């Protein structure tokens, strides 16, 4: 009986080392951490270097899609509420079409359809 008690006390006398595992029952609280907890932490190991303008250009497509969704919801709501008329909407859309075509022609160095006359015809048909 005495030897049995000594073997039960012996493992408890030695301090138990904490291990960073969840599947094992340990005599520590759930939120316990020791000094070795963050020793293997690596901060920003493989973060690529990006330039500001490349990120801005890359995010333009997402921004355009979000604006399209907002406009698709806002236009019918404002038409129904009477804040804008159908004629005002037509004028604004036409101006934006011409402005977009001119921007494409100037900045992109190309015209819709290949020539100015053909581009105007396609713009009118839109």
Considering the chain, what percentage of its residues have pLDDT values greater than 70?
80
Angstrom distance (rounded) from CA 56 to CA 68: 18
Q: Report whether pLDDT(95) > 70.
A: yes
Cβ pair 75, 89 in contact under 8 A? yes
Angstrom distance (rounded) from CA 40 to CA 66: 40
For residue 15, which phi and psi values (nearest 5 degrees)? -70, 135
Tell me if residue 50 falls in helix, strand or coil.
coil
Count other Cβ atoms within 10 Å, centred on residue 83. 10
**pTM score, whole prediction:** 0.47
Is 46 or 33 the better-scoring residue by pLDDT?
A: 46
């Amino acid at each position: 009986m005495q030897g049995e008690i000594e073997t039960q006390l012996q493992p408890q006398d030695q301090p138990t080392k904490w291990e960073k595992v969840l599947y094992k029952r340990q005599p520590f609280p759930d939120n316990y951490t020791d000094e070795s907890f963050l020793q293997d932490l690596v901060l920003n190991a493989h973060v690529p270097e990006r330039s500001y303008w490349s990120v801005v250009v890359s995010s333009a497509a997402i921004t355009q899609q979000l604006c399209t969704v907002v406009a698709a919801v806002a236009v019918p709501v404002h038409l129904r509420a009477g804040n804008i008329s159908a004629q005002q909407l037509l004028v604004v859309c036409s101006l934006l079409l011409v402005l977009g075509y001119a921007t494409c022609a100037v900045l992109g160095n190309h015209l819709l359809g290949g020539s100015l006359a053909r581009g105007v015809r396609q713009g009118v048909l839109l």
